[in-house]
Chain A
């Protein structure tokens, strides 16, 4: 199945300038398997999104469809075929 992952502007340089990536994953994919697939192609991009233990960084929000993953099952959230996954920096900084 295929999932589209949208990349925030600041990180597109880590994905050869792409605004989004079409990611092929097996059925019954979770957010972890989607981000693992992203990491295989663009490991530096993956490290910006997740820490060394595979957890989404504190001030990064990853939406699966309309819901931020922490309101679902975190990185274990199921990702259906055709889903849109959006990586967005949270409101932070000064």
Chain B
């Protein structure tokens, strides 16, 4: 078996390949197509589409000079291209902004449907496997959208969670926006933020505007969601209708990344950061925490991580699972280190080190 780990960094795409998820061969930075500037483009979104006979890799990258695009590879990252005639992803004519960055890919039930989240706040759907995307007009026209406060990370839809059986239901999350859901295939969108705190507003529990850093849908029960908020860790048992704090037992409630177990509803992994005004690791120790009871209790699962003082946090998309029956977990840090473990070992091993800031990771058996 071959496992592929795609690592998006502040400067370029890297890939790692392993036969055993212990020893990895790392390649990069990788040029995307004919644009040599992509060697140092920020790679904020990667996707590995294993629904196809030949897995397709998707990368959303943006050059500080030459703008954003989406590239794809059908040979496991050896070559990359983008359509010539049409921009893979762009805002439509009449939009008062230009597309800035692709933040997320997610895969729909139909094998040709791929969703993308973008900056400025925008939601896209592809019906050709991620080659070209069309913006969802209903979200763009939503009366809330012009009023959303962008966080420092950007005004973006950074999380997309399709329902596992109902293609009409899609949940999304935004920093400085909160959690939204469509139940009609994207024709309408509504906020679902009840119970999520927003300390940066006079009313700490507004209808929308929360700074959800990452959301994850649990396996086995599509109504179960987890959120790492800008202050606060939450669970919902009704697909976002109401959120309950599950931060007790964690060293702190700030953070960016949260990863749901690919098979167990009650298992979730979190990467705590001290606080909004202290974005370092608790005790300056690189650490991961795990709950096996839906967030009621937590335990550190940090065996194998560096024990020296460490100053690189885990960003919102820099943690993931490969979804295997015996799941592998992966995360990268702003120090450019990448770690992996498997469910049966619970000991982290270092995949690579000293990359640029790790922005996103995705892994799959290919």
Contacts and interface: CB of A to CB of B under 8 A. Distances in A.
Given A44-B33, A47-B87, A52-B90, A11 B66 contact: yes
A22 interface: no
B98 A53 contact: yes
Given A52-B99, A93-B40, A59 B65 contact: yes
A13 B34 contact: yes
A59 B90 contact: no
B82 interface: yes
Interface string B64-101: 11110100000000000010110100110101001100
Contacts, number: 68
B67 A48 contact: yes
Contacts of A49: 66
Nearest to B63: A48
Contact of B64 (A52, A53, A55, A93): A93
Contact of A57 (B36, B66, B91): B66
Given A43-B85, A44-B84, A52-B99, A57 B34 contact: no
A11 B98 contact: no
B184 interface: no
Contacts of A51: 67, 90, 98-99
SS of B interface (majority): loop
Contacts of A14: 33-35
B65 A92 contact: yes
B37 interface: yes
Nearest to B36: A10
Given A11-B35, A13-B34, A89 B90 contact: no
A10 B93 contact: no
B97 to A, nearest CB: 9
25 contacts: A9-B36, A10-B35, A10-B37, A13-B33, A13-B35, A13-B36, A14-B33, A43-B85, A44-B33, A44-B34, A47-B67, A48-B37, A49-B66, A51-B98, A52-B91, A52-B99, A53-B95, A53-B98, A59-B65, A60-B66, A90-B65, A92-B64, A93-B40, A93-B64, A93-B65
A-B complex: 3 closest residue pairs judged by Cβ atoms: A13-B34, A52-B90, A48-B66
Given A10-B66, A59-B64, 17 more contacts: A12-B34, A13-B34, A14-B34, A15-B34, A43-B84, A43-B85, A44-B35, A47-B67, A48-B63, A48-B65, A48-B67, A51-B98, A60-B66, A89-B66, A90-B65, A92-B65, A93-B64
